[in-house]
């Protein structure tokens, strides 16, 4: 993929740093990023199985191994990881050796393909900042600690508070923290003296970083995430807990080093214990406690009289400890109640077992976060570095921990001097306090459980960390996103089209950020703003959008004002460079038809409704069926539809009387259009796309759902107006709800329901006893409704179960959240299609315009909807007269019917899910909508080429042309076979330079460069769902075309594709090539198009 990102990851060679970086590599690769991991042979071997499985699953991860200069640094052979050092005194040697990798990495970067877009490196590898700077790409530093700790260190540094502290035992407050937290100097400044110079290098490199990835989640430490983000200009992405992305057995069991005890043996032992009864004790892979201190820990666990697992890291001390355990009979005495693991343990797997009830930890951040993610309370025993900071967070802020009482760090190299700080009685006391059944302990456990749930939700789709990954990628990719017509502009620009958008200042402001990103990313989009004549037509100042009108009665004034833009647009067209090739305009802007005609370019109208609705309106108009209908309550069948669908006159003809004359103008302009773009997709309404295409002579391009081209967080969050409630607040609320449990209710930006009707809607949602989000548009009625909600206590009563959004909501973002299970909609086509794209069943409550048509499609044809039972439109200006049509009981009944677990509802949901899958497939490369964009552009290009041919501007024979022009020449010469093949080649992106064109008496010839035959082993390529190939082996001689006939029939195309498909391509692709499938239809469509062009060219020539 041309726009695929490539990230290079540099994990620091210490187990606690490498494990989360490998997790990050996999989760970025799952988002389609190419990942290159740079490490050393020993460290690569530790993750061989994990990465091997990821690569087998199709993730684009590659591992590059560089030789580690252990010998030059005075380290023992193979010492490539911190936990392999015989003494932590060698840390300076190790970090110096890591820095010498800069030169081989620079050489590597010169050869990497594709060129990297970003470096993510551990904060302990400052040389990578120079690499990123040299190759002019952003460096993101990975911080293996929490935002609380990062903010503490930052505030300590900038405030210079330590300069005033004279005693190591003196407690002081770190300034400007959200909480009042005390530290001693050694607790916050626990870097060994010998590493201080390196610490300065780390800090210097950090200042040059583009941003920071933190293995934490926003809900855990919200105030500290917010404050640290301010320090880093917003470039902080909390994407953890990354351990939670390991969801299956092997991921958890093989995470990190190889386990020293078979994990099945551990799990079998855990299965024999009571739920939440076992204490897990592990002091980390860099534990530097002396044997005497470890013995006190073991005896304290034994004295607690609780089941325990004790993990003891490998090293010099472990041998002495093992000797003690054997002589003392420790393991034998505690057999059945205690399990000792000598070496590496599968920690995440153990912590997720229901028998574990607590975790005694050294407070390394990975361990803390893994304990939090498992919903466990912790016993805290910090040793050095950031661990005292983490203890403060666990005990004082989160209130889920019990201290063993350590006050001083265990400084590297001074362990023997420090001696035993924690006695067995301290351990016993802490275990009893953590694991007992008293109120304080129960409350601590409950808080831990809640944090575990939040941790899990953060990494699920729609969770804060899941979204932050999207935000990170968006920041690096820096692309743009729009609402339907703007979405289309972006789509076309991505195909190399120059786009000019003409709008007014207020509307331009709505898309300012989006357009800026689009332009920065290299898309050729320009925005031209024309002053809107609101004053001349009696509108209030700045009234430039339908949703800003105080009353829909002013619609005629608004449309009149838009028509007044014709003159300034004509003036603009005279000055535009390059000259436009095509106008795409909304069907509600008929003056653009005159512009297109005047400048002799095709106008494509954008239809914001579906083909079913367009065909209904067309057939109603041409059949004049309404002339026979005398009653507004009489149902009639619209003639010549693929299905038998009944309407009343007001449902199909709901245009306000004052707008009827404008409706005629719209219709007249439509007749003059070259073709129609429809925001729909062929698989949704195949029979109606086919029939409406016949009405429009094949010039119908379904290119939707355009909302699905917005694939990540910013696309969805910033699509349309500015949200009136922070989207993260909305998503946080959704994260607290069960999957598929929430009903989303929104009656659209032009909702004209009176307050009394809206109140019935709200009370119906409340009575349904289901979680809901209710979006209420801003306007006169919303103020009255807000007053009612406050006086009635509606929001307070439904707190936790119901969320009310007053104003604009990020609808696409909300609908894509897994907690949403249904959508109550006014049946505006955008909303319907967004619900369908999200795979949701709908409750239909149409108001006016095309909305009753859309209801028929949703309920009767697609069978994914439940009606609230509205029969009559809510006519503009007559809302008070119409009154309340839908009672709260109707709303409650519809919600229950949609959301229940009965067979009918399950089948409805399943149909909706299938349509959601088809919608996504349509916009992917090779999908029907993706192909239709190519067909549209090809059609417009050919219009210009036809004009050139008519003028006699054919090039000299013997010169190479573009395939489009070659195809047009073939059409003019009546060579249907050649032109059809060339159109396929054109759409497939094959260059004209691959084909040799020579002049012949008949005017056209194609030969291979090998043997001068017309067609010899020519490959045709076109997209179904992946690239499929259909081969023609033939020699065609001029003058014998009739004898050869059609070399490739559509059945042969199908069979050739089928052979490719049978090798394992997805089932949806197979469906596409079956008779009636979207790709099969597109082949027919293309051949039909060439036939039409052939006939027209023969006559025009």
8-state DSSP, 770: S
Count of CB atoms situated within 10 Å of the CB of 926: 19
Q: Which residues contact 1056 (CB under 8 A, 6 or more apart)?
A: 1028, 1029, 1030, 1031
Nearest CA-CA partner of 745 in 842, 846, 812, 855: 842
Can you tell me the distance from the alpha carbon of 206 to that of 201, in angstroms, rounded to the nearest whole number?
Answer: 9
* Residue 503: φ, ψ to 5°: -150, -165
CA dist list (Å): 860 to 853, 897, 985 = 10, 16, 41
Record the tokens describing residue 959, joined without a space.
């010169």
| 8 Å CB contact between 833 and 860 | no
Can you tell me the distance from the alpha carbon of 997 to that of 993, in angstroms, rounded to the nearest whole number?
Answer: 9
Which residue, chain included where needed, has tokens 């008779």?
1075
Strand partners, 421: none
**Catalytic, out of 23, 83, 122, 487:** 122
Record the tokens describing residue 867, joined without a space.
């009606």
Three-state DSSP class for 636? strand
Can you tell me the distance from the alpha carbon of 184 to that of 171, in angstroms, rounded to the nearest whole number?
Answer: 5
Can you tell me the distance from the alpha carbon of 613 to that of 702, in angstroms, rounded to the nearest whole number?
Answer: 14
191 torsion bin: left (phi>0), alpha (psi -120 to 50), beta (else) = beta
827 torsion bin: left (phi>0), alpha (psi -120 to 50), beta (else) = left
DSSP class per residue in 638-700: PTT-SS--EEEHHHH----GGGHHHHHHHHHHHHT-SEEEESS-TTTSHHHHHHHHHHTTT-E
First to last CA, the chain: 42
Can you tell me the distance from the alpha carbon of 62 to that of 7, in angstroms, rounded to the nearest whole number?
Answer: 11
Q: Which residues contact 978 (CB under 8 A, 6 or more apart)?
A: 967, 970, 1004, 1006, 1014
Q: How many CA atoms lie within 13 A of 242 on its CB side?
A: 29
Strand partners, 648: 635
Can you tell me the distance from the alpha carbon of 974 to that of 365, in angstroms, rounded to the nearest whole number?
Answer: 74
Q: Among this protein's residues, is 122 annotated catalytic?
A: yes
| 8 Å CB contact between 849 and 874 | no
Which residue, chain included where needed, has tokens 């395939």?
963
Can you tell me the distance from the alpha carbon of 991 to that of 986, in angstroms, rounded to the nearest whole number?
Answer: 8
Record the tokens describing residue 166, joined without a space.
């004279």
Can you tell me the distance from the alpha carbon of 931 to that of 106, in angstroms, rounded to the nearest whole number?
Answer: 42
Three-state DSSP class for 732? helix
Nearest CA-CA partner of 482 in 227, 716, 764: 716
Count of CB atoms situated within 10 Å of the CB of 8: 27
Can you tell me the distance from the alpha carbon of 200 to that of 205, in angstroms, rounded to the nearest whole number?
Answer: 9
- Per-residue three-class SS string for 293-361: HHHHHHHHHHHCCCCEEEEECCCHHHHHHHHHHHHHCHHHHCCCCEEEEECCCCHHHHHCCCCEEEEEE
Tell me whether residue 521 is exposed, middle or buried, using C-beta atoms within 10 angstroms of its C-beta: 0 to 12, 13 to 18, 19 or more: middle
Helix (H) or strand (E) holding 213: strand 211-214
Q: Among this protein's residues, is 553 annotated catalytic?
A: no
Three-state DSSP class for 577? coil
**Catalytic, out of 17, 154, 466, 618:** 17
Helix (H) or strand (E) holding 913: helix 903-923
Rg (CA), the chain: 34
Residues acting as catalytic residues? 17, 122
């Amino acid at each position: 993929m041309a726009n695929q990102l490539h990230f290079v990851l540099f994990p620091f060679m210490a187990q606690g740093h490498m494990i989360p970086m490998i997790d990050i590599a996999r989760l970025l690769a799952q988002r389609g990023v190419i990942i290159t991991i740079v490490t050393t042979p020993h460290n690569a071997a530790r993750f061989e199985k994990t990465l091997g499985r990821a690569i087998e699953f199709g993730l684009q991860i590659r591992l590059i191994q560089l030789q580690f200069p252990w010998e030059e640094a005075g380290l023992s052979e193979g010492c490539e990881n911190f936990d392999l050092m015989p003494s932590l005194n060698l840390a300076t040697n190790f970090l110096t050796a890591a820095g010498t990798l800069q030169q081989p990495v620079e050489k590597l970067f010169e050869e990497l393909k594709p060129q990297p877009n970003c470096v993510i490196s551990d904060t302990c590898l400052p040389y990578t900042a120079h690499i990123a700077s040299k190759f002019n790409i952003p460096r993101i530093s990975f911080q293996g600690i929490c935002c609380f700790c990062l903010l503490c260190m930052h505030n300590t540094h900038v405030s210079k508070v330590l300069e005033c502290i004279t005693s190591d035992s003196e407690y002081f407050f770190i300034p400007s923290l959200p909480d009042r937290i005390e530290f001693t100097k050694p607790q916050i400044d626990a870097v060994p003296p010998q590493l201080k110079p390196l610490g300065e290098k780390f800090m210097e490199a950090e200042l040059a970083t583009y941003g920071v990835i933190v293995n934490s989640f926003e809900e855990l430490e919200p105030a500290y995430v917010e404050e640290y983000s301010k320090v880093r200009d917003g470039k902080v992405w909390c994407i953890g807990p990354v351990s939670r992305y390991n969801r299956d057995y092997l991921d958890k069991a093989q995470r990190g080093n190889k386990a020293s005890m078979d994990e099945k043996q551990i799990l079998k032992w855990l299965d024999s214990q009571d739920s939440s009864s076992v204490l897990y004790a592990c002091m980390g892979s860099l534990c530097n406690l002396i044997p005497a201190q470890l013995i006190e820990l073991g005896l304290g666990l034994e004295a607690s009289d609780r089941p325990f697992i004790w993990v003891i890291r490998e090293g010099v001390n472990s041998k002495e400890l093992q000797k003690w355990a054997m002589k003392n009979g420790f393991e034998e005495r505690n057999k059945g109640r205690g399990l000792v693991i000598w070496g590496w343990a599968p920690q995440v797997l153990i912590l997720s077992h229901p028998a574990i009830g607590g975790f005694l930890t050294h407070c390394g951040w990975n361990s803390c976060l893994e304990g939090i993610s498992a919903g466990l309370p912790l016993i805290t025993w910090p040793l050095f570095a950031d661990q005292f900071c983490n203890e403060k967070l666990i005990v004082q802020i989160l209130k889920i921990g019990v201290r063993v009482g350590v006050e001083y760090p265990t400084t590297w190299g001074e362990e023997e001097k420090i001696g035993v700080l924690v006695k067995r009685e301290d351990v016993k006391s802490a275990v009893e306090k953590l694991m007992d059944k008293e109120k304080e302990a129960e409350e601590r456990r409950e808080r831990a459980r809640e944090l575990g749930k939040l941790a899990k939700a953060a990494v699920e789709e729609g969770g804060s960390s899941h979204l932050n990954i999207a935000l990170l990628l968006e920041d690096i990719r820096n692309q743009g996103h729009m609402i339907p017509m703007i979405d289309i502009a972006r789509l076309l620009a991505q195909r190399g089209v120059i786009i000019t958008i003409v709008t007014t200042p207020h509307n331009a402001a709505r898309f300012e950020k989006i357009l800026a990103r689009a332009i920065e990313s290299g898309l050729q989009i320009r925005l031209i703003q024309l002053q809107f004549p609101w004053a001349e037509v009696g509108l209030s100042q700045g009234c430039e959008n339908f949703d800003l009108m105080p009353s829909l009665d002013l619609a005629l004034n608004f449309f009149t004002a838009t028509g007044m833009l014709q003159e300034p647009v004509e003036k603009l067209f005279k000055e535009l460079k390059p000259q436009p090739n095509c106008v795409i305009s909304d069907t509600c802007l008929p003056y653009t038809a005159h512009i297109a005609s005047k400048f002799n370019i095709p106008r494509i109208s954008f239809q914001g409704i579906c083909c079913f609705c367009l065909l209904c309106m067309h057939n109603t108009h041409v059949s004049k069926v309404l002339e026979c209908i005398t009653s507004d309550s009489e149902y009639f069948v619209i003639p010549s539809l693929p299905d038998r669908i009944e309407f009343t006159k007001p449902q199909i003809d709901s245009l306000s009387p004052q707008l009827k004359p404008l409706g005629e103008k719209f219709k007249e302009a439509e007749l003059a259009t070259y073709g129609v773009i429809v925001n729909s997709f062929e698989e949704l309404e195949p029979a109606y796309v086919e029939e409406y295409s016949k009405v429009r002579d094949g010039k119908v391009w379904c290119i939707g759902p355009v909302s699905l081209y917005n694939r990540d967080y910013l696309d969805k969050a910033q699509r349309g107006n500015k949200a009136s409630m922070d989207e993260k607040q909305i998503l946080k609320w959704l994260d607290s709800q069960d999957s598929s449990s929430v009903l989303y209710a929104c009656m659209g930006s032009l909702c004209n329901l009176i307050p009394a009707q809206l109140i019935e809607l709200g009370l119906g949602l409340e009575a349904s006893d289901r979680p809901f989000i209710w979006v209420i548009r801003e306007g006169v009625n919303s103020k009255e409704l807000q007053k009612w909600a406050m006086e009635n206590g509606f929001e307070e009563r439904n707190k936790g179960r119901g969320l009310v959004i007053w104003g604009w909501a990020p609808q696409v973002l909300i609908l894509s959240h897994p907690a949403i299970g249904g959508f109550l909609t006014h049946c505006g086509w955008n909303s319907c299609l967004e619900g369908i794209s999200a795979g949701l069943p709908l409750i239909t409550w149409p108001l006016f315009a095309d909305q009753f048509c859309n209801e028929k499609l949703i309920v009767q044809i697609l069978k994914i909807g439940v009606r609230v039972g509205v029969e009559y439109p809510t006519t503009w200006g007559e809302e008070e007269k119409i009154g309340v049509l839908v009672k709260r009981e109707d709303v409650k009944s519809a919600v229950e019917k949609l959301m229940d677990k009965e067979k009918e509802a399950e089948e409805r949901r399943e149909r909706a899910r299938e349509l959601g899958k088809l919608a996504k497939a349509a916009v992917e490369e090779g999908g029907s909508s993706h192909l239709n964009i190519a067909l549209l552009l090809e059609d417009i290009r050919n219009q210009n080429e036809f004009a050139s041919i008519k003028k006699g501007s054919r090039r000299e024979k013997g010169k190479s042309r573009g395939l489009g022009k070659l195809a047009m020449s073939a059409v003019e010469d009546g060579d249907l076979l050649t032109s059809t093949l060339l159109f396929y080649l054109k759409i497939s992106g094959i260059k004209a330079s691959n084909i040799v064109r020579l002049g012949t008496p008949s005017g056209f010839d194609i030969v291979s460069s090998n043997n001068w035959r017309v067609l010899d082993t020519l490959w045709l390529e076109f997209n179904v769902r992946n690239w499929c190939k259909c081969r023609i082996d033939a020699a065609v001689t001029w003058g014998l075309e009739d004898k050869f006939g059609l070399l490739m029939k559509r059945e042969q195309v199908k069979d050739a594709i089928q052979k490719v498909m049978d090798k394992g391509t997805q089932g949806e692709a197979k469906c596409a090539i079956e008779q009636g499938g979207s790709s099969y239809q597109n082949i027919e469509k293309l051949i039909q198009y060439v036939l039409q062009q052939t006939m027209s060219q023969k006559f025009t020539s």
